Amino acid sequence: MQTTNILFFGSTTDSVLVLEKLLHLSTVHSQFSISAIVTQPPRPVGREKTITPTPVEQWAKEHAITLLTFESNPEKPWLYADEQLVIDTLQPVAADIIISASYGIKIPTATITAATFGGINIHPSILPHWRGADPVPWAILSGDHQIGVSITTLTESFDEGKILAQEKTPITSSDTSDPLRTKLFSIGAELLIDILPRYIEGKLKTTSQLTDTHGKGVTIQYARKFKREDGFEAWETLFQAMNEGTDAARIERKYRALHPWPGIWTKIKTNENQMNNDNDKAINEKRLKILKLHLSNGKIVIDDVQLEGKKPVSWKQFDEAYFPPIA
């Protein structure tokens, strides 16, 4: 039986989940082999800005699999800095199929079409809902009751390929983004292994994202990447959610969606132990990060916070120390 060489693209711990399943598949079915892996280059991580390789790079080295990295465009990080270099470098790999999972950079069309069976991508949403970089937090933030994973063909544009398989799962009231995303990639890895042999044999039916099972058009939703400023909530809004329950459900969903990054944060005026020229305590506005909160009786209860430049403390400790004014 002819070997099917897999060229894998991925960058995160979720990508590693898929790689583990593909490695197991290659031991059960000698038809499949991971010939090479492409991941993003090492990046600065943490406050110390320590240059750290991706989990995929570490995994590839542990398993002695050929590893390749390419720089992204500094101004458009979802594109390569030199796409032609990528195409030329990958051409000798002679991949039969490309598999992408949580990679983060657009794979050149020429690389996809050069593969005998094209490419497959695992995306953590029920496409075409939540196309884009951050589908899981957007689904939680929007109050969706279910989410899922889609396996699609790779195309010139992100998340627009034909659907090969989908599986849905509920979003619970306790779900946060990172564990839910990992759960979805775990489901997706199992689903991939189930369909891959049939896909290679040409026995797998594909469906369009643009029509439902009844042939009717569907609504496309986009999940742009979150930024630090998306975590901001005005202090007055948080205060009302704590005391009156106003907007409490939305804020609780936002906390679960954006935890741990960018998280929910606010600007708060505090009475610091600093004197101004009139020997009065100075009023300073500082960034306050909400580390933990929950809903109780329809109201927000803040558990832990961290004031800019300070260590994390309980809300009770913060409240007693700062007595922040509302206005």
Query: In which residue are the tokens 């906390």 written?
Result: 255
Please list the residue range(s) of the chain that carry CATH number 3.10.25.10.
228-322
> Going along the chain, which residue ranges are E strands?
4-10, 32-39, 43-45, 50-52, 67-69, 97-101, 119-123, 131-132, 146-153, 163-170, 222-223, 264-275, 281-296, 299-307, 313-314
Angle, helices 13-28 vs 177-200, to 10°: value is 30
**CATH for the stretch 4-223:** 3.40.50.170
Distance, in Å, from the CA atom of 16 to the CA atom of 108, rounded to the nearest integer, reads: 22
H or E element, residue 258: helix 248-258
At a CB cut-off of 8 Å and minimum separation 6, what does 83 contact? 108
> Going along 128-280, which residue ranges are E strands?
131-132, 146-153, 163-170, 222-223, 264-275
Q: In tens digits, what is the pLDDT along the chain, a chain of 327 residues?
A: 689 999 999 999 999 999 999 999 998 888 999 999 999 999 998 878 899 999 999 999 999 999 999 999 999 999 999 999 999 999 999 899 999 999 999 999 999 999 999 999 999 999 999 999 999 999 999 999 999 999 999 999 999 999 999 999 999 999 999 999 999 999 999 999 999 999 999 999 999 998 765 556 788 999 999 999 999 999 999 999 999 999 999 999 999 999 999 999 999 887 655 444 554 555 678 999 999 999 999 999 999 999 999 999 999 999 888 765 554
What CATH superfamily classification does 228-322 receive?
Formyl transferase, C-terminal domain (3.10.25.10)
- Report the predicted TM-score, pTM, of the whole model to 2 decimal places: 0.91
CB atoms within 10 A of CB 253: 21
Residue 259, token pair as written in the block: 């935890």
Please list the residue range(s) of the chain that carry CATH number 3.40.50.170.
4-223
